[in-house]
Amino acid sequence: MADPIRTSLEELHALVDLIKTSVDSIEKTFVASNQPFPSLNGPSEPQSEAIRMSPVVQQASSVLVAAATQLIATVRPPPTTATTYALQFHVPACLRVAVENHVAEILREAGPQGLHVRDIAAPTKVNSEKLGRILRTLATHHVFREVTPDVFANNAISLTLDTGKSVSAILADPEAKYDNTSGIAAVVGHSADECMKSAGYLQEVLSDPSWGSSGDPAKAPFAKAFKVDVPLWEWFERPENSLRLRRFGAAMTMFAHSTYSEAIKEGFDWTELPKGSVVVDVGGGVGSQTMILAKTYDHLKFIVQDRDSVITGSAPGYWKENLPAAITSGRVTLQPHDFFSPQPVQAPAVFIMRCILHDWADDYAVKILRHLRNAAGANTKLIIVDSIVTNACPIPEKSSRIPGLKRDPFPEPLLSNRGMANAMAVLSDMQMLSAINATERTVDQFDKLFEQGGWNLARVNLADGTVFQGAKLVAVPT
């Protein structure tokens, strides 16, 4: 019989060894490139950041983050961990205060020596003593630095909240703060405002007999939190929510650029499609992903579908500015279409949907897929570009047999879904659940969804080597 004490200690040593091995791998890569590792007290150099994003360093970093967080969870007393987790909601609350009071921008203008909290609070006239406590909480979580008592400065993490705009420009036009930015501050603001407030009502929705099992976006926790009877996106369009709507748009820009721009071309051999084949981008917005394909594969024809307000509004100008010949030649067509209504394009070569299904609960997603199946030809392919969530246990055998999904296992004793190194996947799932009653899905859930919608999952492609964002699922008609 195994000695439980020795087994537990062996797991601790295994986690420490994984951390050391990962650090050694990262160090070797940076030394070979003659670049310093980016400092938390940054800013860092572009060359160093580029190396940090290399596949070798990314893989080592994933193992390191997973091992370090699992090590903390293992060694810290369970009551401390449970209560710490319960209090973690204060961190996004503090982040929202920092973003909406323009702290990162104020400190950028102040310089690396930092600024006393009295002066940080002055532009927005908030209480400086309370703001200081909020910033100290963030500094304790490695967001901002407390240089000397009550004097704070930016660090590498807080700098990501900086919109790059002057404080005077933001104060002159607060609603434009997030326009034309990286979107990170907008994501923080949106998540710590609408989404965090909504998440506080998860239990109330789950325990409500008429709401708990509903996929109706108007019966999401958001609706209880804000006491409304409409979905989030309808609420955004109310005049009083204009700033939130613009912030949300900027936040979506950040997610749209979270994978590199050419990723849409990977995971499917577009060159094999015959000349003149039609590709339909369902819910494609202005057609930004289609444009990448259209510029590369000139033997194909494309149809971009979205709401009438998009197709007749911003989409024509987008194509006129970036690829006008595609429209004038007829190679690209902009077509108003509601994907909950019958699909007008019959038997195309490909239907593609990017980040659409995760916006809808299963009942709604099946309706979308059914309309596509009814319009599909025998050889039509369905390509879904979305996130894949994996279980915190080994991937089920059924899933592992689907071509493209099986990956090299994460080293033991780490969680097979990469734990905190891939936490964005499950946190995004909670974001969708809380805000719009939607869901990120496991591959088995996609498989079941496709079956109900009249499709067979043929293969999965994890182009970026991760399970979150940018995965492609290719399905064929049943």
- Residue 64, both tokens: 């390191």
CA dihedral 360, 362, 363, 368 (to 10 degrees): 60
Among 55, 85, 115, where does a domain finish? 85
Is residue 249 over pLDDT 70? yes
Q: Do residue 336 and residue 432 come from a single domain?
A: yes
CA dihedral 148, 151, 157, 162 (to 10 degrees): -160
Spatial CB neighbours of 384, under 8 Å, sequence gap ≥ 6:
352, 353, 356, 357, 446, 472, 473, 474, 475
What's the pLDDT tens digit per position in 317-344?
Answer: 999 999 999 999 999 999 999 999 999 9
Spatial CB neighbours of 23, under 8 Å, sequence gap ≥ 6:
60, 64
> Domain range for residue 78?
4-85
Among 85, 114, 135, where does a domain finish? 85
Instruction: With beta carbons less than 8 A apart as the criterion, state whether 132 and 190 touch.
Output: no
- The predicted structure's pLDDT at residue 417: 87
- Where do we find the tokens 């490909």? 350
Q: Are strands 350-354 and 381-386 parallel, antiparallel or unpaired?
A: parallel
Q: Do residue 267 and residue 398 come from a single domain?
A: yes
Q: Do residue 204 and residue 228 come from a single domain?
A: yes
Q: How many domains does the chain have?
A: 4
- Where do we find the tokens 């990469």? 418
Cis peptide before 413 (omega within 30 of 0): yes
Catalytic residues, by residue number, are 358
**Sign, CA torsion 229/230/232/235:** negative
Spatial CB neighbours of 361, under 8 Å, sequence gap ≥ 6:
214, 215, 216, 217, 437, 438, 439
Straight-line distance from the first to the last Cα atom of the chain, in angstroms, rounded to the nearest whole number: 51
Q: Do residue 80 and residue 92 come from a single domain?
A: no
Lowest-pLDDT range, 331-340, 391-400, 452-461?
391-400
CATH number for the domain that contains residue 285: 3.40.50.150
Report the C-alpha gap between 447 and 37 in whole angstroms. 42
- The predicted structure's pLDDT at residue 461: 86
Percent of the chain with pLDDT over 90: 83
Q: With b meaning 16 or more CB within 10 Å and e meaning fewer, what string describes 148-164?
A: eebbbbbbbbbbbbbbe
Q: Do residue 74 and residue 158 come from a single domain?
A: no
- Position 190 in a domain: yes
Report the C-alpha gap between 162 and 143 in whole angstroms. 12
What's the pLDDT tens digit per position in 346-394?
Answer: 999 999 999 999 999 999 999 999 999 999 999 999 999 998 888 898 8
- The predicted structure's pLDDT at residue 98: 98
What's the pLDDT tens digit per position in 429-445?
Answer: 999 999 999 999 998 89
Q: Do residue 126 and residue 208 come from a single domain?
A: no
- Position 30 in a domain: yes
Spatial CB neighbours of 451, under 8 Å, sequence gap ≥ 6:
478
Helix (H) or strand (E) holding 367: helix 362-375
Is residue 79 over pLDDT 90? yes
- Residue 465, both tokens: 């080597």
- Position 458 in a domain: yes
- The predicted structure's pLDDT at residue 406: 63
One-letter amino acid of 237: E
Q: Do residue 232 and residue 381 come from a single domain?
A: no
Report the C-alpha gap between 202 and 414 in whole angstroms. 29
- Position 142 in a domain: yes
Q: Are strands 332-336 and 301-306 parallel, antiparallel or unpaired?
A: parallel
Residue 401: band (very low, low, confident or very high) from pLDDT cuts 50, 70, 90: low
- Nearest CA to 424 out of 356, 371, 470 is that of 470
Residue 1: band (very low, low, confident or very high) from pLDDT cuts 50, 70, 90: low
- Nearest CA to 101 out of 115, 88, 81, 112 is that of 115
One-letter amino acid of 35: Q
Q: Do residue 269 and residue 233 come from a single domain?
A: no
What's the pLDDT tens digit per position in 4-30?
Answer: 666 789 999 999 999 999 999 999 999
Q: Do residue 25 and residue 68 come from a single domain?
A: yes
- The predicted structure's pLDDT at residue 466: 46
Q: Do residue 387 and residue 470 come from a single domain?
A: yes
Bridge partners (DSSP) listed for residue 457:
475
Among 216, 234, 256, where does a domain finish? 256
- Position 179 in a domain: no
Residue-wise DSSP of 404-420: TT--PPPPTTS-TT-GG
pLDDT (average), residues 92-96: 98
Residue 46: band (very low, low, confident or very high) from pLDDT cuts 50, 70, 90: confident
Q: Do residue 453 and residue 371 come from a single domain?
A: yes
What's phi and psi for 9, nearest 5 deg?
Answer: -65, -35
Q: Do residue 434 and residue 304 come from a single domain?
A: yes
Instruction: With beta carbons less than 8 A apart as the criterion, state whether 11 and 67 touch.
Output: no
Work out the burial of residue 215: count CB atoms within 10 Å of its CB; fewer than 13 is exposed, 13-18 middle, 19 or more buried.
middle
